[in-house]
């Protein structure tokens, strides 16, 4: 494989790692809030998610800073994707709508 295709694979691996990490965080929050023992959910989820990401970065990077940066970029992109996909609509806002501020 040439260098650019390796970086694309590293970017894709970062996207996958980020989706697992931040998707797992979203899932943990939803489960932990309604649990009788939320500290266990948050602790074990954090340890599992962090372990997976660290091992993933270790194997993807293989000591090459360009691979690590591509993986990190994918990880950050995945963060924004998960944030957008898991966003809940705001039903009631404390601020008036912009259109209301233009009324006489």
Written as tens digits, the pLDDT of the chain (104 aa) is 788 899 999 999 999 999 999 999 999 999 999 999 999 999 999 999 999 999 999 999 998 999 999 999 999 999 999 999 988 876 655 655 555 555 55
Nearest-angstrom CA–CA distance, 21 and 4: 25
Q: Would you mind telling me the total number of residues written for the chain in this entry?
A: 104
Per-residue tokens: 6: 């390796």
Per-residue tokens: 99: 């259109």
Q: Between the CA of residue 10 and those of 24, 38, 56, 59, 92, what are the distances in Å?
A: 21, 34, 10, 10, 41
The structure's pTM equals 0.79
Per-residue tokens: 96: 């008036």
Per-residue tokens: 29: 């929050």
Per-residue tokens: 88: 């809940």
Beta strands in 14-80 (DSSP E): none
């Amino acid at each position: 494989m040439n260098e650019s295709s390796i970086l694309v694979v590293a970017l894709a691996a970062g996207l996958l790692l980020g989706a697992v990490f931040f998707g797992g965080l979203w899932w943990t929050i939803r489960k932990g809030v309604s649990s009788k023992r939320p500290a266990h959910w948050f602790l074990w989820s954090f340890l599992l998610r962090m372990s997976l990401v660290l091992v993933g970065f270790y194997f993807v990077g293989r000591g090459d800073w360009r691979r690590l940066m591509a993986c990190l970029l994918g990880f950050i992109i995945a963060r924004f994707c998960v944030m957008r996909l898991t966003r809940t609509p705001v039903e009631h806002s404390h601020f008036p709508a912009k259109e209301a501020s233009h009324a006489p």
